[in-house]
Amino acid sequence: MKPYITFLILSFMIIFPGILFAQQQADYDNIITVSITDQDTVFARNSAFRSLKRQIIIDAIKDQLGVLIYEEYASQILRHKDIKTSELVSAYQILQEYTIGEKFTMKLQGTVRIDVLKEVLRKMNLVLKDDPWYNITLVVNKNLTIPIEQVQQKLDIYRIKIDSQFTYYQDSSWIIDHQSIEFIEEIFNQFPENQILFFIEEEKISDSDLIKGLRIRIFRKNDYQQITTFTVNFKVPVPPLSINLELEKIKSRLISAFSIQTCKRHLYDEGLESFIDIDVAGLSNPYERSEFEKSVIKKISGIQSYFLKNISNEAVNYELYSKFSIIRLMESFEAQNEAFDLIVDLDGTNQLKIYAIYKLDQDIVELDTWPFKNSVIDQLNKAFSETDENGEIVEIDETLIPEIEENEPNNNSRRFNYLPNETLLIGKISSRADEDIYQIEEPQEDETSSINIEWMIASKTSLSPQLKLYDDDFKFLNSYSLIGNQNRIKFSYTFQTETPKRIYIRVSDSVGFIQGETGGYKSYDYLLKVEWKN
CATH number at residue 520: 2.60.120.380
Closest by CA to 447, choosing from 528, 530, 507, is 530
301 and 388 in a common domain: no
Output the pLDDT for position 512.
57
pLDDT of residue 521: 61
Instruction: Tell me the residue range of the domain where 336 lies.
Output: 273-358
Which of 326, 358, 390 represents a domain boundary (last residue)?
358
Q: What does the CA dihedral 86, 87, 90, 94 come to, rounded to 10 degrees?
A: -30
Identify whether residues 529 and 428 lie together within a single domain: yes
| pLDDT tens for each residue of the chain, 534 residues long | 444 434 443 343 333 333 333 447 889 999 999 999 888 889 999 999 999 999 999 999 999 999 989 998 898 899 888 898 888 998 888 898 999 999 999 999 999 988 889 889 988 889 898 888 889 999 998 889 999 999 999 999 999 999 999 988 765 544 445 567 778 888 888 898 888 999 998 888 888 889 999 999 999 887 788 888 999 999 999 998 899 999 999 999 999 999 988 999 888 877 667 788 899 998 876 778 888 998 899 888 888 889 888 887 778 889 998 888 788 888 889 887 778 889 999 887 788 999 998 876 666 777 888 888 888 888 888 888 776 666 676 777 778 888 988 887 776 556 678 888 889 998 888 887 778 888 888 877 655 678 899 998 888 887 888 898 888 767 788 888 887 778 888 888 888 777 777 788 888 887 654 444 444 567 888 999 998 886
What integer pLDDT is reported at residue 266 of this predicted model?
84
Looking at residue 435, what is its pLDDT?
Answer: 83
Q: Kind and range of the H or E element at 436? A: strand 435-440
Asked whether 126 and 73 are in contact (CB, 8 A), the reply is yes
Q: Which residues contact 437 (CB under 8 A, 6 or more apart)?
A: 410, 411, 412, 413, 415, 416, 417, 504, 505, 506, 507
What is the model's pLDDT at position 518? 41
The angle at the Cα of 427, spanning 426 to 431, to the nearest 5 degrees, equals 155
Q: What is the CA radius of gyration of the chain?
A: 30
> What span, in angstroms and rounded, lies between the C-alpha atoms of 341 and 352?
15
User: Do 389 and 518 sit in the same domain of this protein?
Assistant: yes
Do residue 354 and residue 472 come from a single domain? no
Residue 414 lies in a domain: yes
DSSP run (H or E) holding 393: strand 393-394
Kindly state whether residues 380 and 528 are assigned to the same domain. Answer: yes
Residue type, 121: L
Asked if residue 6 belongs to a domain, the reply is no
232 within domain boundaries: yes
146 and 103 fall within a common domain: no
Domain boundary among 213, 235, 267: 267
Residues 83 and 146 in one domain: no
Indicate whether 4 belongs to any domain.
no
Same domain, 490 and 378: yes
Residues 315 and 394 in one domain: no
Question: Which stretches of 191-324 are DSSP H helices?
Answer: 243-249, 251-256, 260-263, 286-295
The verdict on 410 and 390 lying in the same domain is yes
Question: For residue 61, what is the domain's CATH number?
Answer: 3.30.1660
Q: Are residue 353 and residue 379 in the same domain, yes or no?
A: no
341, 358, 375: which is the final residue of a domain? Answer: 358
Q: Is residue 478 part of a domain?
A: yes
Q: Identify the CATH number of the domain in which residue 259 sits.
A: 3.90.950
Residue 46 CB partners (closer than 8 Å, separation 6+): none
User: What CATH code is carried by the domain that includes residue 277?
Assistant: 3.30.70
Domain count, the chain: 4
Q: Is residue 9 part of a domain?
A: no
Structural domain contains residue 394: yes
pLDDT number for residue 232? 92
Phi-psi region of 264 (alpha: psi -120 to 50; beta: other; left: phi over 0): left
Residues 184 and 240 in one domain: yes
Global pTM reads 0.52
